[in-house]
Copies of this chain bind each other. A is one copy, B any other.
Amino acid sequence: MIVNMSEKATEAEVNHVIDRIREAGYQPHVTRGTERTIVAAVGSGRRHEIEALQVAPGVDNVVAIAQPFKLVSRQVKPDRSIVHVNGVAIGGPDVVVIAGPCSVESREQLFQTAHAIKRAGATMLRGGAYKPRTSPYDFQGLGLEALKILREAREETGLPVVTEVMSTEDIDIICEYADMLQVGARNMQNFALLRRLATVNKPVLLKRGPSATVKEWLLAAEYLLSGGNRQVVLCERGIKTFETETRNTIDLAAVALARDLSHLPVIADPSHGTGKQSLIAAVSRAAVAVGADGLIIEVHPCPERALSDGPQSLDFAGFEKVMRALVEPLRTISTRVATAASAVQPEAARKLT
């Protein structure tokens, strides 16, 4: 931490900062510039006491140097973590595809979908039982009934199941039925929920909040790890921006960045990330190319009849197309000019003289 004194700071103000840094458990280290003085807090002490010096007299601002997260960091654990979900390894060499409907609507709907996605190559099943909906008048999920259907589908297809948990009160029951618990984007900073999930022996899928920085996202994961649960998978699902043609703006650079900063597996959700059927194949390919350890994709037998998220859900044929797109080779890189240069350029050069 560095405390940056203002140009007009008095000697007494600098001394006060030095004293407070010592009080907070750090060693002060003063650099006197031509225009201003900076005081570094060296060692390890109580970070917030330095942060609060921002409002001490004569202080311009306080700059943090080190990242605030620890256990999620690759500095603490340089090798990548693999999270095992009932036989599926997320974070290993292969990309894991999770698919299924936004909401479980009926036994038939889920079973049809589970078989279809398995046939197409997905290895995990998603499906909402408890649904976070913007409006209280929207479908809120089938709850326990959905959980039972999910477990049955898992038993029949062998696909491990992930479903969202919205409240501490539902954790126990969901643990009984599902293989992985999802923390939805809107709950990324529901710290009461995170603290309880930290004590559970189930892997957690932690979605990035729609306005969370990568740093805040990793600190949310830090709640889980520091509380004892190291089975955490991060999921980028788009952030809120001014663009309105897509539901969210999927931040694929954040997938690469989160993998640089953290050892945890990172997957991407092109369904919420774009909100548009027509973009899912392209964005899924891009997510894999940027380094995502997996994808989570919404699939429904008949999207136009879905009780939620229809516009971003794929039907079975659409999902198969996405799966095929994932194994198509990347477009080749042009080498045209490099070889043709001698022939083409002289002419061009003449024209311009």
Contacts and interface: CB of A to CB of B under 8 A. Distances in A.
Scoring A136, A210, A257, A352 by chain B CB atoms within 10 A of each residue's CB, the highest score goes to: A136
Interface in A62-77: 63, 65-66, 68-70, 75
Given A190-B187, A338-B123, A135 B55 contact: no
Interface string A312-353: 010000000001001101111111111011101100110010
Contact of A227 (B52, B132, B133, B136): B136
A95 interface: yes
A29 interface: yes
Interface in A90-131: 92-97, 118, 121-124, 130
A158 B87 contact: no
B337 A87 contact: yes
A264 to B, nearest CB: 15
A55 B288 contact: no
Given A65-B38, A134-B189, A242-B213, A304 B154 contact: no
A140 to B, nearest CB: 8
Given A53-B304, A244-B244, A341 B168 contact: no
A248 to B, nearest CB: 9
A287 B285 contact: no
Contacts of A130: 192
Contact of A40 (B38, B243, B326, B331): B38
Contact of A158 (B158, B304, B335, B342): B342
Contacts of A253: 246, 249-250, 273-274, 279, 282-283
A278 interface: yes
22 contacts: A29-B31, A33-B40, A34-B42, A36-B65, A38-B40, A48-B307, A48-B310, A86-B344, A94-B332, A121-B338, A130-B192, A136-B226, A154-B348, A154-B349, A166-B190, A168-B168, A213-B243, A249-B251, A255-B282, A282-B291, A288-B330, A329-B330
